Amino acid sequence: MIFVVVWQMALVPLAWCFLQRERRGVWWVIAGAFAVSWLADAATLLGSTIPMAFYPVSQVGLLAAVLAPRQFRTILGVLVLAGIIAVLWEGIARPGLLLDTVAAGVVVAIAWPLPNRRLRATLLTAFGVGGVMWITYVLWPGWTTWGMYQSVRAASLGMFCWAQRAQVRMA
C-alpha cells in the first residue's frame, strides 16, 4: 500500500496545476518534471528498469528548458555524458548513484539563482536535500533511508503547491 501512495504522490503537482486552472506553461513543465518519476515507477511496476536509468535526464531537461539561462543549458551535454557513463558503470538493474547525483547537482545549480524564492526552496528541497537522501538510500538501503527519501519527496511536492499558489514572478 505504501508503494502505491509514494508512486501516486508524484502526480500532486500536475493535479494542483489542474485544480488551480494554471495557465502559465512554465508551471505545467515544472509539474511534469516531478511527474516523470511517476512514469518511471509505473514502468518499474511493470517489470522494466530502463526508465529508472534515464528519468533523471528527463527531469533535468524539462527544468532546464524553462528555468536555466541559455548559456547554462549546455550543461545538459555533461548530464547526457554522465548518463552514458552511469549506465555503463552501474547498469540499469539497480538504483543509480552517479547519474542521479549529477542530475540533482545540475538542478541545484539551476535553482540557486532563481528570483522566485518559493520555487527555489522547492527545487533545493526536492533535488538538494532529496539528492542527499537518495545517496543515503543507495549506499545504505533499508526502510529507514527509503522513508527519509520519500519524506523529503513528499515535502517538496507539497512545497510545489505552496510555490505555485503564491503567484510570484518567475525568472
**Is 45 in contact with 7 (CB distance < 8 Å)?**
yes
Stated pTM of the model: 0.86
54 has pLDDT over 70: yes
46 has pLDDT over 90: no
CA distance linking residue 47 with residue 29, whole number of Å: 27
171 has pLDDT over 60: no
12 has pLDDT over 80: yes
Percent of the chain predicted with pLDDT > 90: 50
